[in-house]
Amino acid sequence: MKQIPKTAKQIIALFLVIALFAAFNLSMYMLLTGRLSNNFSDATQAKMIDVSKFLPHEDSSDLAHIESSLKLTDNLPVLDGAAALVPVYASIIENVYPKGSVTYEGGTFSDDNYYGENFAEDSKMQYKNTVRGYQAIVDGTTDILFCAAPSAEQKQYAEEKGVELVYVPVGLEAFVFFVNENNPVDNLTTEQIRGIYSGKYNNWNQLGGPNRIINPVTRLEGSGSQSAMDAFMGDTAIAPKSPLAITGASIGFSFRYYMDGIVGNKAVKMLSLNGVYPSAENIQNGEYPIIAQFYAIYRADNENENIKVLIDWLLTDEGQEIIEKTGYVKINP
């Protein structure tokens, strides 16, 4: 049998080393880089709200219905807002606006259409979510934006454009933290939460849980939930996350109704904070420690008189009934 020359063996060995190195790098890319950079994966899309389920004047839509004394027929304000508040402003349109005021064109995920939702330009309902929604209200393409408090960057954007925004609180919501349903930890203190995100705690066994690395998940900068988290952390900086964290057991944050009512992910559970669970009752009575107002926001120089008419109505018993029926807590007891 003819032997393979020594030089050929060396070449083959070199190619094997290169192939193994390439395979290792590819697997690490898929594990670490790919999971973090693909914004439009099926998993990411599944976590986003399906706006088609909340379209006004559609029989199959899951919206609140009340006996409204307010009916607008012209000069209809364009409404937009955060994902978590789509049911609120869609229900307002359902009960106050005439049929034909919303034109939904569907959509697909792309770099230009991050949320996969398209509304016609003349539609009175839009969905740009928090980051682009704040830009739209400042730029004048939206009349009323339903969102949590703005980030420092969003405030700065308005100031740079010379725009004064008016923030009217219209409802209450809990800012919540959640973990996998199988995590034995059910309660944390607010200081323990800050400790997790500042890097003080990096293993669940430091907090009464299993011997697993903590993976503290954050959100898109400028989103409503990330802005709320930044406000909660205060002067305590969020530490850079270890690359190994994604191999651990996660903790994340959001708003209560978005987690419980819209996404409805049964594989996760909301945590009690300081021994208080984020129930509607504990939000209303003020016992839950992180309660956030959400706002109807508009430009102070907007001359559409129906903006104030609509917001004033939203603060009446009728308007607050919509807030409650869409899963939130009314601003006035």
Query: Any idea what the CATH number is for the domain that residue 227 is in?
Result: 3.40.190.10
Is residue 243, in this structure, part of any structural domain at all? Answer: yes
Asked if 314 and 212 sit in the same domain, the reply is no
Helix runs in 80-223, H state only: 86-96, 129-139, 152-160, 190-198
The pTM (predicted TM-score) of the whole model is 0.73
Asked if 104 and 213 sit in the same domain, the reply is no
Asked if 262 and 307 sit in the same domain, the reply is no
**CA pair distance 12, 18, nearest whole angstrom:** 10
Asked if 247 and 322 sit in the same domain, the reply is no
Three-class SS of residue 104?
strand
Between 156 and 259, residue with greater pLDDT: 156
Is residue 269, in this structure, part of any structural domain at all? Answer: yes
pLDDT tens digits, 22-75? 444 444 334 433 333 333 333 333 345 778 889 999 988 889 999 999 999 999
Asked if 188 and 166 sit in the same domain, the reply is no
Instruction: Tell me the mean pLDDT in the region 202-230.
Output: 90
Is residue 230, in this structure, part of any structural domain at all? Answer: yes
Would the pLDDT of 235 be above 80? yes
Is residue 30, in this structure, part of any structural domain at all? Answer: no
**CA pair distance 223, 205, nearest whole angstrom:** 31
Asked if 57 and 199 sit in the same domain, the reply is no
**If pLDDT is split at 50, 70 and 90, which confidence band does 20 have?**
low
Between 39 and 118, residue with greater pLDDT: 118
pLDDT tens digits, 269-278? 999 999 999 9
**CA pair distance 310, 319, nearest whole angstrom:** 9
Asked if 94 and 194 sit in the same domain, the reply is no
Assess contact for 282 and 111: CB atoms under 8 A: no
Is residue 135, in this structure, part of any structural domain at all? Answer: yes
Is residue 16, in this structure, part of any structural domain at all? Answer: no
Residue 277, burial from CB neighbour count under 10 angstroms (0-12, 13-18, 19+): middle
pLDDT at 292: 87
Is residue 240, in this structure, part of any structural domain at all? Answer: yes
Give residue 158's identity as a one-letter amino acid code: A
pLDDT tens digits, 145-192? 999 888 888 999 999 999 999 999 999 988 999 999 999 999 999 999
pLDDT at 164: 97
Asked if 231 and 320 sit in the same domain, the reply is no
Asked if 83 and 116 sit in the same domain, the reply is yes
Asked if 96 and 238 sit in the same domain, the reply is no
**If pLDDT is split at 50, 70 and 90, which confidence band does 10 have?**
low
Asked if 78 and 189 sit in the same domain, the reply is no
Domain count, the chain: 2
pLDDT at 24: 45
Take residue 190 and report the two structure tokens written for it: 């607010």
Asked if 139 and 182 sit in the same domain, the reply is no
Is residue 190, in this structure, part of any structural domain at all? Answer: yes
Structural domain span for residue 166: 48-170+300-330
Nearest residue to 332 (alpha-carbon basis) of 291, 296, 284: 284
> What DSSP letter does each residue of 244-284 carry, written as one string?
GGGGSEEEEEEEHHIIIIII--TTEEEPEETTB---HHHHH
Between 27 and 120, residue with greater pLDDT: 120
